[in-house]
């Protein structure tokens, strides 16, 4: 049975909408495109800004824009998940790391990401089955 009140949903644009129940906002920060990646990477070790940027955009297509990374980090910092350690040296050096709270979140996110990877085979099979069924249907429809 349900764990408790999680089943109570809300909606509206995510962004800054004040009319949304507060926990949904945090959830969206954590599950956001870059939020997910930032948390997972920081679970490994602390990172500097540009270092993190490169780490995230490692594989395929271009990575995060500076703007988005900044924005993501600020949001997560404000929520108390990420710690920002800016040291007044030249050139500037800023290290980002997880807080205890952030680590808890990151572990859950990583678990989900890991699950996704582990189950990719099943997903791929489901997709092919779906696509073939669809094609058969559309074919019948057109003849």
Partner DNA sequence: CAGTATCCGTAGGGATACTG
Partner DNA sequence: CAGTATCCCTACGGATACTG
Residue 4 or 60 having the CB closest to DNA: 60
CB atoms within 10 A of CB 115: 10
- Should residue 73 be labelled a site residue for a second copy when binding is judged by CB under 8 A? no
- Should residue 69 be labelled a site residue for a second copy when binding is judged by CB under 8 A? no
Residue 117 or 142 having the CB closest to a second copy: 117
- Should residue 36 be labelled a site residue for DNA when binding is judged by CB under 7 A? no
The angle at the Cα of 9, spanning 73 to 75, to the nearest 5 degrees, equals 10
Residue 55 contacts residue 46 (beta carbons within 8 Å): no
Residue 48 binding: pick among a second copy, DNA, none (C-beta 5-8 Å cut-off by kind): DNA
- Should residue 63 be labelled a site residue for a second copy when binding is judged by CB under 8 A? yes
The correct pick among 80, 86, 93, 137 for binding a second copy (CB under 8 A) is 80
**By the criterion CB under 8 A, which residues form the site for a second copy?**
2-14, 17, 19-23, 26-28, 30-31, 33, 36-37, 40-41, 43-44, 55-64, 77-81, 101, 104-105, 108-117, 119-120, 122-127, 129-131
**By the criterion CB under 7 A, which residues form the site for DNA?**
11, 13-15, 32-33, 48-51, 62, 64-68, 70, 73-74, 84, 86, 91-94, 96
């Amino acid at each position: 049975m349900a764990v408790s009140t999680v089943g109570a949903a809300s909606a509206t644009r995510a962004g800054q909408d004040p009319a949304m129940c507060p926990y949904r906002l945090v959830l969206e920060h954590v599950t956001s495109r870059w939020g997910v990646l930032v948390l997972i990477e920081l679970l490994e070790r602390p990172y500097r800004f540009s270092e993190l940027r490169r780490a995230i955009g490692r594989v395929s297509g271009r990575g995060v824009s500076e703007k988005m990374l900044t924005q993501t980090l600020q949001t997560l910092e404000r929520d108390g998940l990420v710690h920002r350690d800016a040291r007044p040296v030249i050139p500037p050096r800023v290290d980002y790391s997880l807080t205890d709270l952030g680590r808890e979140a990151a572990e859950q996110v990583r678990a989900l990401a890991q699950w996704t990877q582990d189950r990719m085979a099943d997903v791929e099979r489901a997709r092919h089955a779906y696509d073939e069924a669809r094609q058969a249907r559309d074919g019948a429809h057109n003849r």
